[in-house]
């Protein structure tokens, strides 16, 4: 039973991730059509284990990505500890 539940949760999260990415790209395209010009800013993070590698076009983008990466790593660690205690 737990294997089936884990499979379902994992598959649901994968589809949810794709849906969020698709919606984000769609909203960015719509936003691009509305604006007449301006400064493009962006950033990203690659998280390898508990270590985030962060890049961006300006300091503000990097700060936002850094905060989000730290929150994501902390959430990952908390969920890992909780998950291991539940199925022990």
Query: pLDDT band at residue 15, thresholds of 50, 70 and 90?
Result: very high
pLDDT in tens, 20-45: 999 999 998 888 777 777 777 888 88
Q: From its phi and psi, is residue 38 left (phi > 0), alpha (psi between -120 and 50) or beta?
A: left
Helix intervals (H) in the chain: 2-34, 59-86
Extents of the domains making up the chain: 1-37, 39-88
What's the DSSP call for residue 77? H
Share of the chain above pLDDT 90, in %: 27
Greater confidence, 38 or 7? 7
**Which comes out higher in pLDDT, residue 7 or 16?**
16
pTM greater than the 0.95 cutoff:
no
């Amino acid at each position: 039973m737990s294997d089936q539940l884990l499979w379902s949760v994992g598959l649901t999260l994968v589809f949810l991730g794709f849906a969020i990415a698709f919606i984000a790209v769609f909203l960015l395209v719509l936003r691009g059509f509305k604006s007449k010009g301006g400064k493009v800013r962006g950033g990203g993070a690659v998280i390898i284990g508990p270590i985030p590698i962060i890049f961006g076009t300006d300091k503000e983008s990097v700060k936002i990505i850094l905060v989000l990466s730290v929150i994501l790593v902390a959430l990952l660690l908390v969920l890992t500890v909780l998950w291991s205690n539940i199925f022990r």
